Amino acid sequence: MMAGDMALMYRERKGYVAQPVTYTYHETSKAFIEVATQKERQTVSWLQTRANRWLRDVFLPLGYPESVSSDYLHYQFWDCIQAYCSNIAGALSLKATLTGLGVGEGTATPLAATLTWLLKDGSGMVASIAFAYWRGSQLDCNSKQWRLFADVANDLHHFIRLLGPILPIPFMTIMCLSAVMLALVGVAGGATRAAFAQHQARGENMADVSAKDGSQETMVNLAALITSLTLLPTITANLIVTWVAFMICVSLHLYTNYRAVRAVKMESLNRPRLLSTLHTWFSTASMLSVEEANITEPLLFGPAFNSYYFPHGFSTSVGCSLHWALEKCQSSGSDVKEMYTAARRTFEKDSYLMCGNLKQRQLHIVYHSNITTQEELLAFFTAYLCVLNYFHVTQGSVLSAEYIADGISADSPDWHIISAVRQHANTLFPAFLKALRDKGWHVNKLQLAADEWRLT
């Protein structure tokens, strides 16, 4: 190219975090050739740049970090460590399983080992079906809590296998119990992993996020396999060393899982997060941010594992059968006809109705078939405000004057309190809804584990 001619060149990069690549046109080769600017030579070597690109393409979703949620890397870091610890613990317990099956003993028969293995698999299959039926609908709503449950069950699975050969019970029983624990891990862990992938995928790329998560876990499993092959012969030679190593791995596994789950910042409202935002709203007239609510969300107890959980010892069902709700209230001595008439009259313009026995600390929210997500949120808001007003008038609990419904007292009938609170809640709710949206909450998606009953 002659002096004075303008050089033909361009720069491009793959993704927002990659180093840009510069190309210039060479007349002799009739092609654009990659070159490195002086700044690029000073900051990163060509080989390192290539390696970073390759690692990002193999292990991170396309378009990272814009294509995933902001908590993605933090969660994946702890998730990889927990997978490593779990694999080491599994390798330690595997030797005990093989010992229990009689591997290396002349008295053991292939038939006995085969029958034990088949019964183990059968127990796991039955447990998977039963658990999915029992708690399947809860896994989406409380994915973080059930993910921790899956990890605890996984460690119990390894613990039972390791302890099996020294217990004075048939090893077949040990294997079946271990398989039940593993089945719970499969259902709860698999379902919650899918929920996390759905949360993390921000560019219609859930399949890519799931696939790259699998690649990361496979690489971690390979590292754990190499570690096991290197250290297992030495560790398992001594029973005390085996148990010490196992307990260290389990402790690290549970800790890193807790950190991983705590790193997830869900923008949808489930019962624990919604109750936290309501408590803060009525206590301080402020709204929790997504990060604040996720940090304070209980992971090991409370509303996540009790679908009727409500403050002040109340039991509140959502989306329940009206017939069932009236029966529950009638069993506590209420006049079912009066309750039904009052509920119909009070909520005739709404897409839900509410009944209950406040003295027995129970509330029931019944949905109409045409209810919207915003109306579901309003119903839950009304129930919460009803509980606050009831405890204010009956036990003198502190409640700001702006949240107290008019015309109620300790002697007011339940239906009157519910009616007055419903009217007051309708005036307060728009400000609460706006505050949720301003803080980044996805109010068009609720995960309250509501039942399927609807009034038609």
- DSSP for 1-17 reads --TTSPPPEEEE-SSSS
Q: How much is the average pLDDT of 21-26?
A: 82
| pLDDT more than 70, % of the chain | 89
b/e map of 190-215 (b: 16 or more CB within 10 Å)?
ebbbebbbebbbbeebbebbbebbee
Q: Kindly give, in sequence order, each residue whose CB lies less than 8 Å from that of residue 189, ignoring residues fewer than 6 positions away.
A: 147, 150, 151, 154
Q: Kindly give, in sequence order, each residue whose CB lies less than 8 Å from that of residue 61, ignoring residues fewer than 6 positions away.
A: 67, 68, 201, 205, 208, 209, 212
pTM above 0.85, yes or no: no
Q: How much is the average pLDDT of 265-274?
A: 94
Alpha-carbon span 350 to 363, nearest angstrom: 17
To which H or E segment does residue 199 belong? helix 171-200
pLDDT of residue 3: 44
Q: How much is the average pLDDT of 70-84?
A: 94
Q: Which of 227-236, 338-347, 412-421 has the lowest mean pLDDT?
A: 227-236
Q: How much is the average pLDDT of 345-373?
A: 94
pLDDT greater at residue 197 or residue 335: 197
Alpha-carbon span 64 to 261, nearest angstrom: 21
Long-range CB contacts for residues 155-158, cutoff 8 Å, separation at least 24: 155/86, 155/89, 155/250, 155/253, 155/254, 156/181, 157/93, 157/181, 157/182, 157/185, 158/86, 158/89, 158/90, 158/92, 158/93, 158/246, 158/250
Q: Kindly give, in sequence order, each residue whose CB lies less than 8 Å from that of residue 314, ignoring residues fewer than 6 positions away.
A: 361, 362, 363, 387
Which among 92, 189, 96 has a CA at the least distance from the CA of 144? 189
The mean pLDDT of the chain is: 87
To which H or E segment does residue 353 belong? strand 352-357
b/e map of 127-137 (b: 16 or more CB within 10 Å)?
bbeebbeebee
pLDDT, one tens digit per residue, over 104-128 is: 444 545 666 677 778 888 998 999 9
pLDDT of residue 25: 82
34: which DSSP letter? E
pLDDT of residue 297: 92
Q: Kindly give, in sequence order, each residue whose CB lies less than 8 Å from that of residue 135, ignoring residues fewer than 6 positions away.
A: 146, 188
Beta strands at 315-318 and 31-35: parallel, antiparallel or unpaired: unpaired
pLDDT, one tens digit per residue, over 398-431 is: 999 999 999 999 999 999 999 999 999 999 999 9
pLDDT of residue 93: 86
pLDDT of residue 260: 96
Q: Which of 186-195, 218-227, 301-310, 371-380 has the lowest mean pLDDT?
A: 301-310
pLDDT, one tens digit per residue, over 298-322 is: 998 778 788 899 999 999 999 999 9
* Residue 350 burial by Cβ neighbours in a 10 Å radius (0-12, 13-18, 19+): middle
Asked if residue 277 lies in contact with residue 286, where contact means CB atoms within 8 angstroms, the answer is no
Q: How much is the average pLDDT of 46-60?
A: 79
| pLDDT more than 90, % of the chain | 58
Which among 300, 292, 256, 258 has a CA at the least distance from the CA of 142? 300
pLDDT of residue 1: 41
Q: SS3 of 201, please?
A: strand
pLDDT of residue 100: 56
pLDDT greater at residue 13 or residue 154: 154
Alpha-carbon span 386 to 403, nearest angstrom: 10
pLDDT at 4 over 50: no
Alpha-carbon span 228 to 234, nearest angstrom: 10
Which among 174, 172, 58 has a CA at the least distance from the CA of 112? 172
pLDDT greater at residue 53 or residue 69: 69
pLDDT of residue 208: 93
Q: How much is the average pLDDT of 178-186?
A: 92
Read off the tokens for 73: 């890397």
Q: How far is CA 167 from the centre of its chain?
A: 35
* Residue 103 burial by Cβ neighbours in a 10 Å radius (0-12, 13-18, 19+): exposed
Which among 417, 348, 413, 421 has a CA at the least distance from the CA of 382? 421
- The residue type found at 434 is K
Q: How much is the average pLDDT of 235-249?
A: 88
pLDDT at 269 over 50: yes
pLDDT classification of 17: cutoffs 50, 70, 90: low
Backbone angles phi and psi of 384, in degrees to 5: -65, -45
Q: What are the angstrom distances between the C-alpha of 293 and each of 275, 296, 332, 336, 445? A: 9, 5, 35, 38, 16
